[in-house]
Amino acid sequence: MIKIKKSKEFLNRSKSQFFQFLFLLIGITVLFTTEDWRYKEGKKREYLEQIKRPTQGMEELKEPWLLEGDAPKVLINHVGYEEGGEKTAYFLGTEDRNFQVISYETGEAVFTGVIEYKEKTAIGDFSQVKEPGCYFIWTKNMGSSYLFSIDTGIYENEARKILDKIEKRQRKDTEVETKVLTDCLLAYFYFQERMETEESSILEKIKPGIDWLLSLQEEDGGVHQGIEGGIKKGVSSESTGRFAATLAMFSQAYRDYNKEYSEECKKAALLAWNFLENYHPLVLSGEKVLKDEEERRWAAAQLYNLTGSPIYRRLVEETMDMGKEAYGKEENVYSILSYLTAKHPIDIEMCTNLMGRLLTEASSVSRKWSEMNHEMDKGDRERLYREPLLLMYAQYVAPSKQYETAIKAQIDYFLGCNKDNVRFLEIDGMEGVLYFLLNYKM
């Protein structure tokens, strides 16, 4: 009897010890889980205290949980987002299914969204967040983005900053300068109705670049390739062709604002063309192609747009059959756009053919941008220059949601949604492209 009683006591003690151990184990698990949660929340709070904005007054982010040199895996438009516009973040990972939009002022989540994983990219839409303020994107495993703003006039303010930078930029290379000015002038011509009240401001901002180009022209019309170490680099037919095209374009834009200066630009463009003709006449199709054919065609197209002279029209139409290389260089795209928008007679059949090929190319480009976005290589300058031109013109003549989506992806990419987490405003020569794109969104 005593043995049975002792056995029961031992069994009861064992049960008690077992439940104590079980409760202890559960308590430890809860404690560690809570501590892990507190740690992550603490890191979020540290971020709220230590986060800094990226470039242009937004210094490089220093996240406490990342190694030195690491960049955020959550990509956002560094400039910010319009209150009522579309808002998209991009994610460089597959660790999370959800993301939060966190208010910088309060540290509280104002929106929780689902990350949509596609074949080559992952995106999160937070267009529902419209309250003006400062925010960042947060995920459990990928961490956070840079800070960004939601406000009105985001793109207008950025476009003004770009114009200020263009006005004061350090000019060294004729090729870069002509592209920056041409993209700004394209924005002016495409959105002229909206810009009419700002006409003088826009043209005056880019005029220093025109003055600089004029300073590089010799008496015979030839134009230097740029300035290096305070010394003018040699004259070339390529730089002279770019000069003629850009000056002709500016003369056309400036005609109603300052006729005297417009005429000066026109004479300079014609003088540059005469230099090219004396240097070597433009070779027509079927013969040996000159290395500067793209620049000459572009110059002829702009001079035709400016003067209406059939001489330039013939030269353009005789050399317009560029085959697969038609959209391989931005000079070719410039000449095509100039010809298609000419206010003088053009060949209808050629126009139809060029338009069809342009829209086909734009459709291919738009699919690529919609699918890849942040994976684009910023080293391919030629493509990054010309593709926005194609999409903008395609959207101008044949508006579509596909082009709209691709243009938005381009804007996000150039303003921070890229694998390097940089704004392309810091890359010399990209100012004009950015200005063109931002004007579309304004």
pLDDT in tens, 384-393: 778 888 999 9
CATH 1.50.10.10 domain extents, the chain? 154-441
Query: What local confidence, expressed as pLDDT, does residue 4 receive?
Result: 44
Q: What is the pTM of this model?
A: 0.80
What is the topology classification, in CATH, of domain 154-441?
Glycosyltransferase (1.50.10)
pLDDT digits (tens, 9 = 90+) for 119-165: 778 999 999 999 999 999 999 999 889 899 999 999 988 888 899 98
Amino acid, single-letter form, for residue 70: D
Q: Categorize the per-residue pLDDT at 20 as very low, low, confident or very high, splitting at 50, 70 and 90.
A: low
Q: Which residue has the higher pLDDT, 3 or 339?
A: 339
Q: Name which of 239, 217, 235, 222 is nearest 292 in CA terms.
A: 239
Contact (CB, 8 A) for 376 and 418: yes
Tokens found for residue 285: 């199709």
Contact (CB, 8 A) for 193 and 245: no
Q: Dihedrals φ, ψ of 71, to 5°?
A: -120, 160
Query: What local confidence, expressed as pLDDT, does residue 376 receive?
Result: 56
Name the CATH superfamily for 74-151: Immunoglobulins (2.60.40.10)
pLDDT digits (tens, 9 = 90+) for 310-348: 999 999 999 887 776 677 788 989 999 999 999 999 999
pLDDT at 38 over 60: no
pLDDT at 244 over 50: yes
CATH 2.60.40.10 domain extents, the chain? 74-151
pLDDT at 199 over 70: no
Q: Categorize the per-residue pLDDT at 40 as very low, low, confident or very high, splitting at 50, 70 and 90.
A: very low
The predicted model gives 255-266 an average pLDDT of 95
- Report the interhelical angle of 237-254 vs 293-307 (nearest 10°): 20
Q: Cα–Cα distance between 184 and 192 in angstroms, integer?
A: 11
pLDDT at 28 over 70: no
Q: What angle do CA 304, 194, 148 make, to 5 degrees?
A: 115
Residues 6+ apart with CB under 8 A from 155: 79, 82, 438, 441, 442
Average pLDDT across the chain, whole number: 81
Q: Cα–Cα distance between 87 and 96 in angstroms, integer?
A: 19
Amino acid, single-letter form, for residue 329: K
